[in-house]
Amino acid sequence: MSDIDARLREDVHLLGELLGNTIREQYGDEFLDKIEQIRKGAKADRRGAVLEKAAGDELSASLNQLQEDELLPVARAFNQFLNLANIAEQYQLIHRRDESQPAPFESRVLPELLARLQREGHSNESLARQLGRLEIELVLTAHPTEVARRTLIQKYDAIAAQLALQDHRDLTTAERDQIRERLQRLIAEAWHTEEIRRTRPTPVDEAKWGFAVIEHSLWHAIPNYLRKADHALHAATGLRLPLEAAPIRFASWMGGDRDGNPNVTAPVTREVLLLARWMAADLYLRDIDHLASELSMQQASPALQAKVGDSVEPYRAVLKQLRERLRATRQWAHASLTASTPAPAEVLQNNRDLLDPLELCYQSLHECGMGVIADGPLLDCLRRAVTFGLFLVRLDVRQDSSRHSAAMTEITDYLGLGRYEDWDEDARISFLMKELANRRPLLPGYFKPSADTAEVLNTCKEVAAAPAASLGSYVISMAGAASDVLAVQLLLKESGVQRPMRVVPLFETLADLDNAGPVIEQLLLLPGYRARLQGPQEVMIGYSDSAKDAGTTAAAWAQYRAQERLVDICREQQVELLLFHGRGGTVGRGGGPAHAAILSQPPGSVAGRFRTTEQGEMIRFKFGLPDIAEQNLNLYLAAVLEATLLPPPPPEPAWRHLMDELAADGVSAYRAVVRENPQFVEYFRQSTPEQELGRLPLGSRPAKRRAGGIESLRAIPWIFGWTQTRLMLPAWLGWEAALSKALERGEGELLGQMREQWPFFRTRIDMLEMVLAKADADIARLYDERLVQPDLLPLGAHLRDLLSQACNVVLGLTGQSQLLAHSPDTLEFIRLRNTYLDPLHLLQAELLARSRQQEAAQDSPLEQALLVSVAGIAAGLRNTG
C-alpha cells in the first residue's frame, strides 16, 4: 500500500469514527450497529471491483428491512460518509510534504515547462512576454448537480483545515486532543444541518454561491499562484511578471444564462451585476483596512508626496482616500438593489481608479528601498485588483437563437415587412445588414411588444446600461447561421448598446459543428462586420448537446474538425480567434482533466487565449479550497502556455481517415440505441431517477427545454440519470462498436500508434477508461431488477453487455489487465468510495420503487431520503453532471 493510501485511510477512518459518535448520540447504539452492518456488508460484497450476487442479496435484504423512519437517517449517514471521504481525498492532494518526498505535479508543472521551452529555443524575453500576455478565462456556471448547501460547504472547508493542523508533527497530546474535539464538533454541526435545500435556489442564490467561492477560496488563491508563477519565471529567466499581468480571469453565467430558464430575467441580471459590485467593494475594503494598518512608513516618493501633500503617513493617507471611495461604492451598489440610484462622483467606475493609488504606493515603496514591504500584502491586493477588477466577474448573457428569431418576427410583422421566420437566410442577412448600417431606430417608441419579446429587448437594455467591463460575451445557443449573430447585434443596437460587444455563436449539434466554419467565414466576409468585432472572433463549441445528439465518439471528432476549420478560416481572414469550450464536468459532457484536454486541442486553436466553462459541483472540487484552487490554476496556466508555444503536430492522414470511420461507426451505434430503439425512452425513465430529478429542488433551471423525448432533455439530467445508476451510458456508448470494428478491420496497430503519438486520441481513450472504471454493470442490474418492467429487462441486459464490450476493447487497446492499473491512487479513491456508494445505490433503488408506488409528497421523509441519496451518489462519483 502506498503512503497516500495509508494516510488517506487513516483520515477516512478518523472522520468515519467521529461521524459514528454523532449518529450514536442521536439514534443510539442499535441504529449505529445497523449502519455499520450495512457498511461492512457493502465492503464484503466487493471482491476486486465486482459486487457478488449472494452477498449483494444479503445487503439488499438488510436495506429493504429498514423502517420508513429509518430511510432518511441511513441515506444521510452514507451521504455524510462520502462527503467526509471527499474532504480526506482533497486534503491528501495538498497535505504537507517533507523534503524527502517529490513535489506534486501541479507544483512542478510550470518550472519544468519553462526549462523545456528554453531547451526548445525560446528566449527568456519571449517566455516572459508570452506568460504575461496569456488570456485564460474560466466561466463559472450554475448547474443543478451542485446539490450541497453553502453552509455545509463552509463546514467541510473547516474540517479540511483541521486535518491540515493535525498533520503537524510537533503537536503535543493536548493539541491533538483539541483538534479531535474540533473535528467532532464540526462533524456534529454538519450532521445536524439539513444538507438539502427544501426549495429550488433562485438564479440570484446561484450567483451568491459563485461569489462565495471567490470570497472563500479564489481571492486567496489568485495572489498565491501568481507569486509562484513569478518566482518560477524569475528563476528560469531572471525576468518578472509585469504588475498588470492577469493570465487567468473569471466570468460567470450565474444570473446571465437565460437559455431555457424563465427564472433569469432582465431584473435578475441587473441585480446580479450590482451584487458583484457590492461584493468586490466589500472584499477590497477588507484588504485596504489591513494595508492601512500595516503601511505606517513615512518615507515616500515625490509622486506620492505630491498626491497627499505634507502628510506624516503618506501611504495611509492615499489608502484612506481609496477606502472612502470603496465605502461609497459599496453603499451605492447596496442602495441600487432596491431603487435605481444615480452613482455619486465618489463611486469607483473605472478599474484605474482602484489600481492607480495601489500602484503609486507600490512604486514609492520600491523607490525608497522598501521593496520587501511592497512585495507583501500590497502586491497581493494589486494582483487581485488586476484579476477581479471592480466587477469581480464578467457576466455573460446567453439566450437561445429561437427567442431572437421570434422577437425579430414580431418586429418585422409589426412594421408590415412580413414574417422574419419565413424568410430564407439571404433575405434575413440582407435585412439585418441594412438595419445595422441605418442610423435611425428600427422601432417607434410606442411599440408594445409581447412579454417574450419585451424580455429579450429588456435584457439588451440592461446590457446597454451596464459598464462594459462588467460584461463578457452574448452567447447564442443553438446557433446555426450567420443571421443568428447579426440578429443579436441588431437587437443590441436597437436597445442602445453603442460599444462593440462579443456576440458569440454556440455550435452544439453535429450538423451545426460541421457548419461552424462556413458560418464564421460568411460573417467575416460581410461588409462592416469586422468593424463591429473590435477584438477576436469568439466561437463557442458545445460539448454536452453534441454528445447527446451523436455520442462522444462522433461529437469529439466533430468538435476537433470544427476547431481546425475555424483556425484556418480566421488565419486566412487575418482575424484573431478565441475558442470558448462549453465543457461539462463529466466525460459525457466533454469533461475530464483540464490539463490533458487543453494539450489535446488542434494545433493553433490555443494561441495564448483560452475560454472554458467550469460547471456545477466541479467548481467546488477544483476551486473550493485555496490550495486546491492554486493547483488547478497552475495546471491551466502551464497547459495554455504549452499549447501555445509547443502545439501538437497535426494528425497524420491515416489517423484522420480512421477517426472518420470511428466517428461514423460510433454515431450509428449510438443512435441505433438512443433514437431507433422504440423501448429506449421508456427504459431510461424506468431504470434511472430521471423523472424524480425534475421534481427535486436542485437548480433554478427546469430539467427540460420543452415537452418531448430524449431530444427535449437538457444534457445535465440526461447524464445525471445514467450516472446515478452507474451505467454511465452517454460517456461510452458508440465507442465499443467503433473500436471493435476497427480491430476487426485489422487496424489495431494504427490505433496503438494514434494513442501513442496523437494527444487528442490519447486523451479521449484516457477519459473513456476513467469513466468505464467508475461504471458498474452489477449496480445498474440491481436498479433494473427493482424498477424496470419485465418486457424492458432484455434492453438493460443488452446495454450492460455493450458496457462489458467497451471495457474489454479499452483493456485490449491499453494492454492492461485492469482498468486504471496505471493509476493506483485513482483506483484507491474509487475503491474507498464504493464501500459507501453501494448501500446508497441499493437504497436509492428501493426508495425509487417505494416513491413510484406511493406517489410520495415532495417534503415527505421518503422524498427527502431520495434526494439525499442523489446528493450522496453525486458527491461520491465527483464528476457527475
pLDDT at 828: 79
pTM: 0.91
Nearest C-alpha neighbor of 544 from the set 582, 510, 593: 582
Q: How many Cα neighbours within 13 Å face the side chain of 88?
A: 25
Task: Specify the DSSP class assigned to residue 7.
Answer: H
Q: Which of 216, 548, 622, 841 is catalytic?
A: 548
Helix (H) or strand (E) holding 580: strand 577-582
pLDDT at 144: 47
Round to whole Å and give the CA distance between 503 and 486: 9
Residue-level length of the chain: 881
The topology (CATH level 3) of 268-389 is de novo design (two linked rop proteins) (1.20.1440)
The topology (CATH level 3) of 400-576 is TIM Barrel (3.20.20)
Type of residue at 441: P
Contact call for residues 233 and 241 (beta carbons, < 8 A): yes
pLDDT in tens, 764-820: 999 999 999 999 999 999 999 999 999 999 999 999 999 999 999 999 999 999 999
Give the C-alpha distances (Å, rounded to integers) separating 294 from 288, 301, 315, 380, 545.
10, 18, 10, 14, 52
pLDDT in tens, 576-590: 999 999 875 444 444
Contact call for residues 291 and 223 (beta carbons, < 8 A): no
Round to whole Å and give the CA distance between 261 and 254: 11
Catalytic annotation present for 548: yes
In the chain, domain spans: 1-100+150-193, 268-389, 400-576, 657-822
The CA-CA-CA angle for residues 12, 14, 17, to 5°, reads 105
pLDDT at 543: 85
Q: Alpha-carbon Rg of the chain, whole angstroms? A: 28
All 3 cell numbers of residue 70?
429509518
Q: Which of 143, 216, 493, 741 is catalytic?
A: 143
Dump the DSSP string for 607-629: SSEEEEEEETHHHHHHHSSHHHH
pLDDT at 260: 81
Pairing of strands 577-582, 537-542: parallel
pLDDT at 156: 85
Contact call for residues 388 and 251 (beta carbons, < 8 A): no
All 3 cell numbers of residue 251?
466570468
Round to whole Å and give the CA distance between 627 and 98: 17
Helix (H, G, I), strand (E, B) or coil at 257: strand
The CA-CA-CA angle for residues 344, 347, 352, to 5°, reads 140
CA torsion sign, 421 to 424 to 427 to 428?
positive
CA torsion sign, 116 to 118 to 121 to 127?
positive
Helix (H, G, I), strand (E, B) or coil at 347: coil
List of the chain residues with pLDDT < 50: 1, 48-51, 144-146, 585-591, 880-881
Give the C-alpha distances (Å, rounded to integers) separating 92 from 8, 9, 89, 101, 410.
7, 10, 5, 13, 58
pLDDT at 591: 43
